[in-house]
Structure 1
């Protein structure tokens, strides 16, 4: 999409969504931003967009096809980021559960839980579930008939935990969402019978806590979850804090843009590569080794900087602190691991042979402290003269690698 519109609205945003234009989008973030600006500033456009969502959820081909195209355009970009982070996901977005929402809502109506809101002016006409102790109800279907997070969450829970028989229905008749719609009930049945879902954990920012409290209460009122939180099946919300900038607000660029994770990873790799070149590694290593090591350190630094903080609290983002080679940082730990591996390599000893026949003797104070510290690892995680020190080094390296694995960080063996 050419964004040089001279202040005019891009053609792709005028009227209906012409599918043939979607493949011209070069940056879906730019496309989304332009849409959001117009949504916020043009009441008529906002109303059309909201109605389009309702029509899309009903499965009308005119809207379903461009929606599917946007998904296909976006998916490769997401996958690249997942691959860089070593993340493997089974894709089941909100739309996966859309065909099952009508039946779920019928069940809630039969139980007398889903009713039409008549008192709260802004929610009049919406279908809601009243939650004791809450000023506002849980909105399940909006006033315009559109489904929302609550609709999807309730349908997903009902499917995963409860109804085996309903999974046998022919989902093709809904004519909605993916091209291979007939796999829906197969995948759901697999999660029930093979994965045996007993505990589902939702991971979002802490700002969504109230939504999940109301959602869980609604599920218990429907009899879909036990009232005793220690019984199975059960469901939990795990909230996390926000990443802040130096100004104490949500982390953004100087132009107030949301920082893209892909840009964050690129910057981390670039800075780590520059540091390695400064240390003379470009002359010692191949370009592939340089790139791989820079990626391992850079990506590891981003992950560790996030994971080392208390999950519930906000923290201030800082590249300088994140990439510091001193203190509690991934860079320091990866350097320590690489140095340990270097000691073992330079010894010229067969470490695997030493593991079979050698013994660790903790004679020095430093050795005893390290040995005792390593012994704490199984307790925390729940999973144990020259010859002795090499084995102690190896034990340290093994524990560090296991910790890196738990954090999703790739260890480096030389720096």
Structure 2
């Protein structure tokens, strides 16, 4: 049996106390215990008595008193009734020592696997083929990767899918450019940049010459009709694009189980639309085939309605255009079908920009009407801003390319290393700059609530102080340096651990919460909960390190403090790893 967290133990004992006190509980009642917001009142708090008192028509404080009198937690904590009926729990030093001993022997560091694993599809990153990834792809890629890692560690069956844009209207322009403007040498040297040059060049020509625009449309129609020449060009574009994308994914250590792009579903679209029309799910409007509101519920919450001049009007989802072509809405409906039937998905998470909110509301509504039972979730996120508080762009007004952003972060890390770590060899500095720079970009992203915007400031991101990845990496390095300084080999075991000093107790408290915090990340799919926990852990470790000498202590005290250092290192390494961030041994 897996070890229980303090939260779980107290919740279990509370339920036993209610039963012992003869209090009948409503069906499904949970004795919810939470971490105390203010440690002056203890480590944990329960408001169960207050929640029940009204239903039982009792005074909440009297009910809390009955529960506490029947409560068996003497081995674990002291209790106190506060305010109108809160029950506060303060964990005893010997219980902290027991928990630390337990964690030392636990490979999972107190994190239980879920009882009922689910099939979770995570759709993230999804760049367009024939274009380099830009700074806007940071959020989807990093958030999606971390949620996938955390879900897998918690025991879920995770399927990651890079739903790349490889069948869009841009290919008409790219194919026209390939036939008329291609620079073979440039394609060989840097294929993604050459494809981007073609796209931009043709896009400019289209604005100047309507005939070029028409030719691009013709090239697209030929591609979609199966023209061999255009299909071969398209295949080459996808091939070289994937090579370019893989370089960045390898650098970020991001992997996917599948790369099923828009083109994968092409053959399913016509039958899908035909079925939806036959079933009355879609009807023709102005030459296009559209899905309209189901007419159920409040129009204010209906994604197929919008208010115009004080009146509710239709806002349909087009699934077949007037010219007979399909769009990404059609593809997304087919993609849901595939994920349900082929992967037996229980949940599908779309890690996509908040600006796509309406599209996903419509997609989820349509999918539910078509019988989808899986939970569909738009994991939306805000915008990356420059220091001026506006969306981050280059001097030319373009979005900065992701490769350039990552390289700049590594360069900035190298500057810091030259100042702080001049003693390291050149090769080690290079590797370290990569670990710190990439970690800084990821942690800056993941430490913010995903719905918020944030300012991209490289100097702050790579600083060794503040809420940064280097601060956390430095805490890990500090733990390892302690063990390097040991003159003799020390066997760390769980016998005779003593946790008495305030610094030891607080570090034990934070370490024990890893198993409580990590599952809560999936409640609203917010990696920042884990990121902020790791900052709390690093701060607790630094405070402990200053207040409780490790190498100068002796006997059981020394061993106990070394155990706390070892556990801190393990939790930092595991926690940062779940965010996709590596830790160096030296800095």
* TM-score bin (small chain): 0.7 to 0.9
Question: What count of residue pairs does the alignment treat as equivalent?
Answer: 355
Equivalent in the alignment of 2:205: 38
The equivalent of 1:102 in structure 2 is: 270
Change (3 A) 1:200 1:327: same
User: 1:242·1:250 contact (CA, 8 Å) conserved in 2?
Assistant: yes
1:388 counterpart residue number: 560
Shift in alpha-carbon separation, 1:54–1:13, aligned structure 2, 3 A: closer
Which residue pairs with 1:74 in the alignment?
241
TM-score for both structures, normalised by structure 1: 0.79
Compared CA separation, residues 335 and 62, structure 1 to 2 (3 A): same
Q: Distance in 2 between matches of 1:410 and 1:394?
A: 17
State the 1:357 CA deviation: 5.0
Task: Name the SS of the counterpart of 1:412 in structure 2.
Answer: coil
| 1:256-276, Cα deviation, whole Å (9 max, x unpaired) | 121111111111111212222
TM, length-normalised to structure 2 = 0.57
* Equivalent residue in structure 2 for 1:92, among 238, 260, 268: 260
Contact 1:17 1:63 in 2 (8 A): no
- Following superposition, the deviation at residue 289 of structure 1 comes to 2.1
Separation in 1 of the partners of 2:516 and 2:176? 62
What's the secondary structure of 2:399's corresponding residue?
A: coil
Rounded Cα–Cα distance in structure 2 between residues aligned with 1:15 and 1:75: 21
CA RMSD after TM alignment = 2.3
Quickly say closer, same or farther: Cα 1:300–1:411, change in 2 above 3 A.
same
| Higher RCO by CA contacts (8 Å cutoff, separation 6 or greater) | 2
Q: Where does 1:56-75 land on structure 2 (aligned, <5 Å)?
A: 56-75=223-242
2:368: which partner in 1? 220
1:359-398 aligned at under 5 Å gives the runs 359-382=496-519, 385-398=557-570
Aligned mates of 1:13, 1:83 — CA distance in 2: 26
2:403 is matched with which residue? Answer: 262
Q: Which residue of the partner structure matches residue 222 of structure 2?
A: 55
- 1:13 and 1:260, CA in 2 relative to 1: closer, same or farther beyond 3 A? closer
Q: 1:15-414, aligned counterparts within 5 Å?
A: 17-18=178-179, 21=182, 23-24=184-185, 25=187, 26=190, 27=193, 28-89=195-256, 90-118=258-286, 125-131=287-293, 132=295, 133=302, 134=305, 135-162=314-341, 192=342, 195-221=343-369, 223-225=370-372, 232-281=373-422, 283-285=423-425, 287-350=426-489, 353-354=491-492, 356=493, 358-382=495-519, 385-414=557-586
Unaligned runs of 5+ in 1: 1-11, 119-124, 163-191, 226-231
Cα distance in 1, alignment partners of residues 176 and 248 from structure 2: 33
Q: CA–CA distance in 1 between the matches of 2:230 and 2:487?
A: 66
1:248 and 1:43 map into 2 onto residues whose CA distance is 38
Instruction: Evaluate the alpha carbon distance shift between residue 332 and residue 72 of structure 1 in structure 2; reply closer, same or farther with a 3 A threshold.
Output: same
Counterpart Cα distance in 1 of 2:367 and 2:281: 10
Deviation at 1:86, TM superposition (A): 0.6
Q: Partners of 2:323 and 2:177 in 1: how far apart?
A: 18
Given that residues 360 and 392 in structure 1 are in contact (C-alpha distance below 8 angstroms), is that contact kept between their aligned partners in structure 2?
Answer: no
Q: Is the 8 Å Cα contact of residues 22 and 66 (structure 1) preserved in structure 2?
A: no
Q: CA deviation at 1:15?
A: 5.7
Q: Which is greater in Rg? A: 2
- Distance in 2 (alpha carbons) for counterparts of 1:313 and 1:151: 30
Unaligned segments of structure 2, at least 5 residues:
1-172, 296-301, 306-313, 521-556
Using the TM superposition, give the Cα deviation of residue 372 of structure 1 relative to its aligned residue in structure 2, in angstroms: 0.7
Structure 2 SS opposite 1:240? coil
Point out 4+ residue stretches in structure 1 off by more than 6 angstroms. Answer: none
Q: Is the 8 A contact 2:416 2:463 kept in 1?
A: no
What secondary structure sits across from 2:352 in the alignment? strand
Secondary structure, counterpart of 1:374 in structure 2 = helix
